[in-house]
Structure 1
Amino acid sequence: MPLRKRLSPAESRDAALTAAQQLLVESGPQAVTLKAVGARIGRTHANLLHHFGSAEGLQQALIARMATCITSTIRDAVLNNRAAAAQEGEPDPRGIVDLVFDAFDTGGAGALASWMILSGNRDALDPILSAVHDLVDELADEVQPAERPIQEETLHLVLMALGDALLGAAMARALDLPRSKARELATAMLVGGRAPA
């Protein structure tokens, strides 16, 4: 339902980004247009142009917002996982895998990233790449895996999550594997063990 009350510039921008992410998840990246976002929140095209400058500006702001959200969620999960492991003696790598996979799949980051790449707008991914780099640097000293540097773990996990978001369901069906198999393989990679049977 469109918003009718007067919003501050910050509230209007936030409402637009929330609507853009909802459209992304519901209908895919091609649905994230100034017109569609404006209709969703009851604002004019001109109002959104004022806040974002263009559809590309809206998409850039959405990517930056998603990058911040994704990396803060992952940061919290890694630190909470580390704290729980210190108390209970057993880390939960599957929880981290699920967060990363969900961010790319149900959170829409995979669809948005592929759309930016295919439309030739690779620079639009800089906020996500930058946020991931900063997160890995922050966690590297505290959470260094024994088997492999955290940078390699992150590369492997993000590429698996992106691939799964784009093609995982179809590949699992084609290979007669459970839909969760990619997550199981990613979890096995994190714990440094063999893939589960």
Structure 2
Amino acid sequence: MPEARRVPRRRRSADEARLQILEAAQQRLAASGPEGLRLQEIAADVGVSHPAILHHFGSREGLLEALASHTAERLNREIAARLETGEPALREILAMTRDTLASQGQARLLAWLALSGRLASESPEILRGLVDVAHRRRVQHRAEAGGVAPEREDTIHAILLVALSLFADALIGDLLRASLGHTSASGEDAFRDWLAALLESHLAG
């Protein structure tokens, strides 16, 4: 677990303080998981008091809920921006998502929140926005090719399949691969490439 770094306190806006607290919590999450987060350590990292964190988030659980929403919204914006501005490689998007879920600890956090009954009620809106962008591009491509527009439900299922696969992979992917004899890092890359190819083929079909 990283040691708490005592940062000198300074005046900052409420939004700035909230963002810095979330960023510090993210670093702690990646290193220690949700069970290892301590408000006193995060406060020392940012240079605020423990009560200041409670003022912004209400409780430790409130901070974790806000962190999950903040990270998911940021990832959604990044993916949507790539889809809007060009033809990003799906492998690149899946790798970015997998890094957020696994390396940054978000899958463990989401699992903890879900099992605790603490997932925010607005969570479904995050995937819905991504579906909107992906489906709009599918409709555009089909129209340009003179084809029939795909059903939105089909796009929803495709996005849901990938989201569930990446979430489970971040939690128990290594264990399941090991049970099948795939113990090297190449096994993870091979699965992600296969998933990307499957999605590309389906969305283009």
TM-score band by shorter chain is 0.7 to 0.9
What residue number does 2:95 align with?
98
| Aligned counterpart, 1:131 | 126
Matching residue within 134, 142, 152 for 2:137? 142
Alignment of 1:104-123 (within 5 A): 104-121=101-118, 123=119
**How far does the alpha carbon of each residue in 1:123-172 deviate from its partner, in whole angstroms, 9 at most, with x for none?**
33x44431111221233122358788221111011001001100112222
- 1:114 shift after superposition: 0.7
Secondary structure of the corresponding residue to residue 46 of structure 1: helix
- Contact kept, 8 Å, 1:73 with 1:99, in 2: the verdict is no
Q: Distance in 1 between matches of 2:190 and 2:172?
A: 13
- Structure 1 residues 74 and 183: CA distance shift in structure 2, 3 A: same
Residues 1:12 and 2:9 aligned together: no
2-structure distance, mates of 1:109, 1:64: 10
Distance of 2:104 and 2:79 partners within structure 1: 13
Q: CA RMSD for the aligned pairs? A: 2.3
Equivalenced residue count is 183
- On the 8 A contact 1:77/1:95 being kept in 2, the answer is no
TM-score by length of 1: 0.81
Aligned residues of 1:75 and 1:135 also touching (Cα < 8 A): yes
Any idea what SS the aligned residue of 1:167 has? helix
Structure 1 residue 181 and structure 2 residue 176: aligned? no
Q: Distance in 1 between matches of 2:84 and 2:179?
A: 37
Match in the other structure for 1:88: none
The answer to whether residue 77 in structure 2 is matched with residue 72 in structure 1 is yes
Structure 2 counterparts to residues 45-60 of structure 1, below 5 A: 45-60=50-65
Q: Distance in 1 between matches of 2:129 and 2:53?
A: 30
TM-score w.r.t. the length of structure 2 is 0.79
Letter in 2 for 1:2: R
Which residue identity does 2:109 align to in structure 1? L
**Ranges of 4+ aligned residues in structure 1 off by more than 4 Å:** 144-148
Cα distance in 2, alignment partners of residues 96 and 79 from structure 1: 13
Deviations 1:20-79 (A, max 9, x none): 111111110112342232132232211111111111221222122112111011112323
CA contact (8 A) 1:19 1:37 kept: yes
